[in-house]
Structure 1
Amino acid sequence: MTPEEAAKRKEEWVAKMKKEGRMKEDMTEDHKACLNALQNPVRRNILKALVEQKKSLEEIKTELKLTDSQASYNLNTLESTLCIEKEENEGVTYYILTPRGEGYMKNVELKK
C-alpha cells in the first residue's frame, strides 16, 4: 500500500468510526483507553501477529498459545479500542489491524 493509499484508508476509517459513534469525541479519553489496552503484552503480541496478514481466532489462539477465554477477552479489548476489527470471509471471521493498530505497530512496536 502506498503512503497515499494508507492516508486515504485512514481518513475513511476515522470518518466511519466517528459516524458510527465508536470513536470518542474526547480524543484524550480515546487515546487513554487505547494506551491502557496496549500495556498488556498479550495484546501487543496479537497486534504483532496481525502485521503481515489477517488471522482467524483459531490461528491467533494457536500461534500465541491462548485459551478461548484469553483470546476472546484480549481480542474484544483490542476491538473496542479500535486497534483491530473483524472481517468476514466465506463464513470465517478474521481479525485485521485498523489504521490505529497499524500506526501503533509502525511508530512504537516496530521501532524497538
Structure 2
Amino acid sequence: MKHISIRTVQISLTTLLLALILTIIQGDVSLLTFINISFLLSLPLLMLGGFLFVYEGGFFNGLIYSYRRLRRSTKMGKYVAQFDHLDHESVVPMTFSVTKPIFFSGLLIFLFTLIIAYFMR
C-alpha cells in the first residue's frame, strides 16, 4: 500500500508540475488557467487507469471467449481450428503495477480541480 501511495504522489506532483509549466508557457498566468490545464491533464490519467482496471477485471476475456466460440461454429472455422491451438490456450489475466497509482492520481487531481473551480466562481 505504501508503494501505491508513493507512486500516486509522484504521478500527481509530476502532472501538477507539467500543468504549471504549460501555464507559464501559455502566457496567461492565472489560477483559472492552471486549474483548467490540470483538469485536462487529469482526464487521460483517469481514463487510462479506468481502462486498466476494466482490463485487469477480465471484461475482455468474455469477448475473446465469444469470438473463439463463433470461430468454431462455422465449417471453415472448425477446419482451421484443427491446425492451430488458439482454442486450447487459456486467457491469462494481466495485472499492472501502475494501474492504481495512475487511476488515483488522475482522480485526485480531477476532484481537486473540480472543488477549487466550484469555489472560485
Please classify the TM superposition score into its range, dividing by the shorter chain length: under 0.3
The structure that has the greater radius of gyration is 2
Higher strand share: 1
Higher helix share: 2
TM-score, normalising length: structure 2: 0.25
TM-score, normalising length: structure 1: 0.26
Relative contact order higher in (CA < 8 Å, ≥ 6 apart): 2
